[in-house]
Amino acid sequence: MRKKLVAGNWKMHGSLAENKVLLEALVLELGQASTAGCIVCAPFPYLAQVQSVLSGSTLAWGAQNVSNHAKGAYTGEVSASMLLDFGCSYVIVGHSERRALYGEDDASVAAKFAAAQAAGLIPFLCVGETLEEREAGVTEAVIGRQLDAVLAVSGIEGIGRAVVAYEPVWAIGTGKTASPQQAQAVHAFIRAKLAVLDKNVAASLVIQYGGSVKAANAAELFAQPDIDGGLIGGASLVADEFIAICRAAQG
């Protein structure tokens, strides 16, 4: 049986003071052995703080981006091995904000995915369609293309060592959550597509949903057979909300 995972993506939010309050609340409420499966993805400058507060708890942490290069003259970039130095287990790759705002295409996402795994990190591979793509009826084609780019570089074996996050772009930060049925349909498509390559990988792959998940809608989303938790943006910044979402994933 797949374990549900909930990851908070803080995006470009936080301060040392705010983070301290939030992280300490998470450790108090979620940091016990029985509540594993909760992850915090913080901005780079705060990873040392996250490591300091979460070490010794069952909470894991990660980053929101990574270089496709291992090291070298790449001003402003952060390598996967640097993330490991700060105790990261995970990194988000291919988030739609990076695809749309920073020109990350399928090939660069695939390269970052491979670099993360080569260093020992677990990527959250984000896939998802825009509203225009959904309305044009090409949702599955878009997500299939995004998955194929990673499969071409890392293979089904690589996907088997990752987490996939389905995030419809039209549901991110908009308050418009995909209905449980809409989300389930895409999750089932992803699992069926990968099952053609490897049934075992497809059956054990954790596929998260992301897009306006809140405490109020998390349980219904997570009850769908192919939804294995969530990638949470805004609600991950509010301790009570994130704690309730993590608890919803624990059933």
Ligand X SMILES: O=C[C@H](O)COP(=O)(O)O
Q: Is 232 in the site for ligand X (CB under 6 A)?
A: yes
4 is in an annotated binding site: no
Query: Does residue 5 sit in helix, strand or coil?
Result: strand
Q: How far is the CB of 203 from ligand X (least distance, A)?
A: 25
111 versus 235: smaller Cβ distance to ligand X? 235
Footprint on residues 141-170 left by ligand X (CB under 6 A) = 167
92 versus 115: smaller Cβ distance to ligand X? 92
Choices 70-78, 149-157, 185-193, 231-239; region in contact with ligand X by CB under 6 A = 231-239
Token pair listed for 219: 């349980």
46 versus 202: smaller Cβ distance to ligand X? 46
52 is in an annotated binding site: no
Beta strands in 88-129 (DSSP E): 90-93, 122-127
Q: Is 129 in the site for ligand X (CB under 6 A)?
A: no
Comparing CA positions, the residue from 186, 230, 185, 234 lying closest to residue 206 is 230
Q: How far is the CB of 204 from ligand X (least distance, A)?
A: 23
The reply to whether 167 belongs to the active site is yes
The contact pattern for ligand X, residues 173-212, with x = CB under 6 A and - = no contact, is x------------------------------------xxx
The reply to whether 95 belongs to the active site is yes
Amino acid at 184: Q
Between the CA of residue 96 and those of 6, 106, 146, 168, 170, what are the distances in Å? 18, 11, 11, 9, 10
Q: Is 14 in the site for ligand X (CB under 6 A)?
A: no
User: DSSP states of 50-75 as a string?
Assistant: HHHHHTTSS-EEEES---SSSSSS-T
Q: Is 78 exposed, middle or buried (0-12, 13-18, 19+ CB in 10 A)?
A: middle
User: DSSP states of 137-184 as a string?
Assistant: T-HHHHHHHHHHHHHHHHHHHHHTTSEEEE--GGGTTSS-PPPHHHHH
The contact pattern for ligand X, residues 64-83, with x = CB under 6 A and - = no contact, is --------------------
11 is in an annotated binding site: yes
Q: Which residues are annotated as a binding site for substrate?
A: 9-11, 173, 212, 233-234
